[in-house]
């Protein structure tokens, strides 16, 4: 016979269901955003035919494409939570690196302070080290 649940167990169960519901809504929202973002990429690629400054047009396409990639990486984090009941850190770090690379692409287009360049490169380095470290931990856990 299964023992009756305590009030704390019932509260935890209810909170878990609410959390799953919120994650489901986030996944649906991110899915829509990814679709709209990719549609924007397609529109910008088509617009490249008529653009006067091809370099600027290509940068805009890259920005839109990288934004789509960031959204998909965050969506992957949410879907991984559904599969494993754990928040996966690596896709979040990859999204962070992608955001920093997206920022680097603007360095030649917009005026940027040297401090901003240094901080962006430092962020990329820290995120890369974190991905390597977490990858080693995950491989060690799998043995």
Task: For the chain, give the mean pLDDT.
Answer: 88
In a domain, 2, yes or no: no
C-alpha dist (Å) from residue 86 to 17, 19, 52, 77, 142 = 15, 12, 48, 9, 16
- DSSP code of residue 111: -
In a domain, 1, yes or no: no
pTM (predicted TM-score): 0.77
pLDDT tens profile 41-87: 999 999 998 988 888 888 889 989 999 999 999 999 999 888 888 88
Q: What is the extent of the structural domain holding 30?
A: 8-142
Total domains, the chain: 1
In a domain, 3, yes or no: no
């Amino acid at each position: 016979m299964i023992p009756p649940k305590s009030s704390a167990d019932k509260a935890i169960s209810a909170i878990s269901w609410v959390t799953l519901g919120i994650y489901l809504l986030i996944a649906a929202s991110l899915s829509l955003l990814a679709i709209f973002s990719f549609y924007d990429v397609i529109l910008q690629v088509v617009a490249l035919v008529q653009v006067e400054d091809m370099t600027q047009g290509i940068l805009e396409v890259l920005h839109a494409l990288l934004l789509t990639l960031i959204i998909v990486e965050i969506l992957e984090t949410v879907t991984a939570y559904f599969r494993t009941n754990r928040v996966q850190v690596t896709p979040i770090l990859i999204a962070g690196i992608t955001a920093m690379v997206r920022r680097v692409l603007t360095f030649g287009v917009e005026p940027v302070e040297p401090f901003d360049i240094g901080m962006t490169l430092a962020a990329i380095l820290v995120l890369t080290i974190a991905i390597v470290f977490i990858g080693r931990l995950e491989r060690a856990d799998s043995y």
